């Protein structure tokens, strides 16, 4: 997709792998966060900002549109991947972005081998789906973002309810 190349920090995984290896050679700590980021809310900001605070470089792996449809079902995503990437690209604490089509980020974890895999507070270290992968290559897991505020799904339900109340 040609649009993706217009964002200064969005790279395909193959290219990003070399970039991240160079950061690691310089002794920089790499953190990977991932998610759909369908409608940005304060919970996303807290999650990503705290993830960045755990290291020097923050990579955000963004679920592709097809991945979100598989995970969330009909009607999702609300925003197309190019729009979600552009929003995330604008945040000063996000150093790099990449898309993934799979239902989890194991492929990205194995390619980049980040020092820290950050997950939001809807997880515990024991419930992170990729915990064994991270443990296998010697990384660690960090739960970031503070108490769960709400999910995008909850936000969509709140909007729908409020619109219904107005009718």
pLDDT at 17: 98
Q: How many CB atoms lie within 10 A of CB 161?
A: 10
> What's the pLDDT at 163?
74
pLDDT (0 to 100) of residue 73: 86
Is the pTM value of this prediction over 0.85?
yes
Q: What are phi and psi of 134, to 5 degrees?
A: -65, -45
Supply the pLDDT for residue 4: 44
Map out the domains of the chain with their CATH numbers: 2-166 (3.40.50.620)
> Tokens in use for 128?
């992170």
Query: According to the model, what pLDDT value does residue 13 have?
Result: 97
Neighbours of 154 (CB within 10 A): 13
CA-based nearest residue to 10, from 67, 71, 87: 87
User: What string of pLDDT tens digits covers the 167 residues of the chain?
Assistant: 444 457 889 999 999 999 999 999 999 999 999 999 988 889 999 999 999 999 999 999 999 999 999 998 888 899 999 999 999 999 999 999 999 999 999 999 999 999 999 999 889 999 999 999 999 999 999 999 977 666 766 777 767 777 777 76
Query: For 10-166, where are the alpha helices, taking DSSP H only?
Result: 13-25, 42-53, 65-72, 81-89, 106-112, 131-137, 152-166
pLDDT for 21: 98
pLDDT at position 67 = 94
Query: In this structure, how many other beta carbons lie within 10 angstroms of the beta carbon of residue 127?
Result: 10
129's CB contacts (< 8 A; 6+ apart) are 104
């Amino acid at each position: 997709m040609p649009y993706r190349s217009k964002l200064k920090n969005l790279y395909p995984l193959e290219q990003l792998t070399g970039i991240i290896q160079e950061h690691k050679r310089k002794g920089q700590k790499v953190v990977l966060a991932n998610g759909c980021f369908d409608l940005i809310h304060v919970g996303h900001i807290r999650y990503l900002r705290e993830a960045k605070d755990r290291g020097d470089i923050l990579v955000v792996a963004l679920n592709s549109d097809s991945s979100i449809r598989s995970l969330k079902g009909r009607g999702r995503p609300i925003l197309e991947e190019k729009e979600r990437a552009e929003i995330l690209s604008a945040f000063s604490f996000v150093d790099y972005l990449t898309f993934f089509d799979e239902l989890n980020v194991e492929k990205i974890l194995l390619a980049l081998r980040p020092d820290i895999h950050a997950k939001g507070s809807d997880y515990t270290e024991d419930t992170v789906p990729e915990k064994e992968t991270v443990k296998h290559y010697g990384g660690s897991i960090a739960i970031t973002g503070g108490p769960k505020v709400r999910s995008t799904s909850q936000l969509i339900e709140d909007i729908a309810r409020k619109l219904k109340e107005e009718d």
